[in-house]
């Protein structure tokens, strides 16, 4: 395809691509699963929320597989499930993750930290490892996408354990891209900021001590103080759009990249905005 000929791009940007989305039953994963399917992909929703995952997969013409990403055998089984279903694997979105406040570094709960690393870091390693094996054996390349966070770029946005785990993902993506490029496998990550997914909303409710915090409140708050774009917070759709781009041939010359979805928040010191008045 001529990269200059944008008119030649298909209407469905992921037509007939086979994709696995971990943590795909709700939040960013579910939103991305729906968008992938709309763009023509065959989607395997991999999660531990069986009822939600099955319902979603059926609604988009996909398949559901139970998958605890902290267990390597589960991730390997999810990849084999996709191969048995469609005979190939083109995309994996390593989206599954956990969060939670952990307070002072002097009182950090190491058991909780080990759990978070097992899901957020080992889970991504498992996904890259087994997806890459399938893509190499298939001989057609592929796209591996991992979900990091703006907290990997800027201190003070999240707890210590969560920040550590997300920083590790950014580094892992770069080193995996170095190895897998020879097989035409691209490895990239997405770093959302302040996107009101179910996981982030639970975090805010704990931190603020309010069970009634709404998505609109968080979207508005991010738009006021967590974005350079006036009145504009981030949404699940913003992340899903980024994932489709990285999964599609439109990003065919992009690898080892961290696509930050933050309205420019981590790019500048908003405290210096007075100089532009």
Q: Parse the chain into domains and list their residue ranges.
A: 11-194+235-263
* Segments of the chain with pLDDT less than 50: 1-6, 272-277
Alpha carbons 61 and 30: distance in angstroms, whole number? 13
Backbone angles phi, psi at 258, to 5 degrees: -110, 105
Alpha carbons 272 and 91: distance in angstroms, whole number? 41
pLDDT of residue 218: 63
Nearest to 172 by CA among 186, 151, 189: 189
Residues 6+ apart with CB under 8 A from 219: 196, 233, 234, 235
pLDDT of residue 204: 59
pLDDT of residue 157: 84
Q: Is-above-0.75 flag for pTM? A: yes
8-state DSSP, 25 = T
Alpha carbons 101 and 92: distance in angstroms, whole number? 28
pLDDT of residue 100: 74
Classified by CATH at the fold level, domain 11-194+235-263 comes out as: Rossmann fold (3.40.50)
First-to-last alpha carbon distance for the chain, in angstroms, is 46
pLDDT of residue 99: 86
pLDDT of residue 203: 60
pLDDT of residue 227: 76
What positions carry a catalytic annotation?
A: 162
Q: Strands across the sheet with 18-22, in order?
A: 63-66, 42-47, 18-22, 91-94, 142-147, 185-192, 258-261
Task: Identify whether the C-beta of residue 180 lies closer than 8 Å to the C-beta of residue 187.
Answer: yes
């Amino acid at each position: 395809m001529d990269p200059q000929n944008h008119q030649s791009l298909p209407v469905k940007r992921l037509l007939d691509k086979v994709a696995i989305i971990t943590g795909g039953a709700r939040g960013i994963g579910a939103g991305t699963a729906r968008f992938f399917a709309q763009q023509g992909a065959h989607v395997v929703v991999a999660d531990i929320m069986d009822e939600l995952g099955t319902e979603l997969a059926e609604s988009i013409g996909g398949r559901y597989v139970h998958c605890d990403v902290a267990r390597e055998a589960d991730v390997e089984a999810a990849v084999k499930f996709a191969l048995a279903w469609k005979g190939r694997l083109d995309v994996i979105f390593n989206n599954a993750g956990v969060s939670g406040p952990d307070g002072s570094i002097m009182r950090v709960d190491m058991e909780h930290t080990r759990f978070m690393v097992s899901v957020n870091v080992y889970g991504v390693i498992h996904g890259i490892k087994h997806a890459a094996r399938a893509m190499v054996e298939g001989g057609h390349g592929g796209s591996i996408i991992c979900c990091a966070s703006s907290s990997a770029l800027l201190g003070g946005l999240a707890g210590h354990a969560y920040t550590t785990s997300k920083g590790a993902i950014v580094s892992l993506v770069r080193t995996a891209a170095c190895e897998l490029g020879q097989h035409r496998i691209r490895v990239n990550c997405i770093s959302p900021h302040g996107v009101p997914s179910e996981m982030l909303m639970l975090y805010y409710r704990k931190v603020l001590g309010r069970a009634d915090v709404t998505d609109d409140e968080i979207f508005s708050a991010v738009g006021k103080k967590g974005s350079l774009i006036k009145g504009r917070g981030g949404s699940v759709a913003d992340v899903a759009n980024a994932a489709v781009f990285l999964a599609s041939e439109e990003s065919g010359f992009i690898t080892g990249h961290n696509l930050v979805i933050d309205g420019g928040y981590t790019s500048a010191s908003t405290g210096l905005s007075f100089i532009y008045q």
